[in-house]
Chains A and B, each alone.
Chain A
């Protein structure tokens, strides 16, 4: 498929994922809308283009692994998995409800197909991703490990322990995508606890650093391409995203970090998505 055709198709999928995120959160009545919408394009490009995986065989040993470290954006992971065919989309309406496989933060014990890790305590997923990549390397396996981190999450010290370890063990089979939306619950990252110069931090830890617009399917396709990998180095993609991307009235507003839309808001938001696309 030509790249232009892929881009058109991927944008349609991203729109569907955003719609599903809004609907499932409205049904749940609580959860994290802002970051989930901001990451819709990243999840689309990974699950529908970049990852080697078999939704019909979720435990296929040779699959690429995707570790979601920021468990609170579970709604976008669930929407991506459902649209990719891991389970039926109707199940998205059970988000955060009793007996649901769609826990508020991902929980493997509930048996959701395609879910690689229970996560929700910030700063831990990247270490797990390092362990997976290290295991794959020691087996000379060809699968790749992807990990999605938040930017505020990088304030956790153990993230940098993991960053050091990945470079030390030369894990060029690991790519971390940082959701750089500049916002966390208390406000802008740079006033809560400054992260800049962020690219320089990763470089100084020995990583291959890419930056891109994380809400551009086009740019994400280039940034996640195999050709960007530098032998012997782990890669980090600092994906500049907009929290709440797609809904003008909430874009860039940190108050939507941990909020779900009401039923009325959800209808309004979905209407807006359809008119903007």
Chain B
């Protein structure tokens, strides 16, 4: 087996953007000063005439993207997720979502693994705020390769606004570059009958590690990569609930309003089973090395296993 390479989500985003830009000359890049930190520098270098610097002015950037979309362009705007999704929330709600415009927002530096920059820069509420907006598509790929494919799909296939979330740290890049990335379709990465771990973002990898550990104890865990939070793949979730009777969710995001809430909303409606949630528990992050923070807040394989053991005896 090939050794796993480590690669940052933002690099996948940058590569996907260049590829989509090559396919379609209407793709436009909008930068908010931190172009290189979010991986947009590749596009700016490849297509300087289609990259526009908008300065540290995220709200205006959303409106500009809306205007460009109305004029037939496919604008892609990226900055850190905290600013991309939260500072701009009303502009996204009205100028993008109410007008239902074809704009891709890249939310970089997702999750607590941003590390030493601390709470201000760790996007932990972006999924909740973006997924509540009508017309919005929310995508949270599991690694750099999938981020690249998701970026291309978001730009080329979605006719309305998209929020695409990715991390900063190099993490295991385990997805196949040949996979067919389908927006709105969850992927079952491992089969199992005792419980299902549904994860998004980098925690998909941690869920696979957790499933290995659980297997050593004789527990058979199914693992699902829910890379599209909205529109959500209800079928794969309901099937997991009915076939395994217990779900553990895992995300680098607040439990409130995030993946855990998304899954619980579906399970309670269609096939109620206990849902254990791994995520930030109504708490801000803090400074520290990414691996330290991940460990303290239990956002890793060990945390997922702990949650699984807590919930196994609650299984119906």
Contacts and interface: CB of A to CB of B under 8 A. Distances in A.
Given A118-B98, A121-B90, A162 B60 contact: yes
Interface in B29-73: 49-50, 52, 54-55, 57, 59-73
Nearest to B60: A161
B10 to A, nearest CB: 24
B67 A124 contact: no
Nearest to A174: B67
Question: Chain B's interface: helix, strand, loop or mixed, by majority?
Answer: helix
Interface residues of B, number: 31
A120 interface: yes
A118 B60 contact: no
Interface in B69-83: 69-73, 75
Contact of A131 (B50, B55, B70, B90): B70
B100 A135 contact: no
Interface residues on A, range: 35 or more
Interface stretch (A74-82, A164-172, A187-195): A164-172
B63 A158 contact: yes
A250 interface: no
B67 A158 contact: no
A138 B70 contact: no
B64 A127 contact: yes
Interface in A145-162: 145, 157-158, 161-162
Contacts of B90: 121, 124
B287 interface: no
A131 B68 contact: yes
B57 A131 contact: no
B71 A118 contact: no
B101 to A, nearest CB: 9
Contacts of A120: 94
Contacts of B72: 61, 135
Given A121-B90, A124-B59, A124-B95, 18 more contacts: A117-B70, A117-B95, A119-B94, A124-B94, A127-B91, A128-B67, A130-B63, A130-B64, A131-B65, A131-B69, A131-B70, A134-B52, A134-B64, A135-B72, A136-B71, A161-B57, A162-B64, A164-B55
Interface of A: 61, 65, 67, 107-109, 116-121, 123-136, 138-139, 145, 157-158, 161-162, 164-165, 168-169
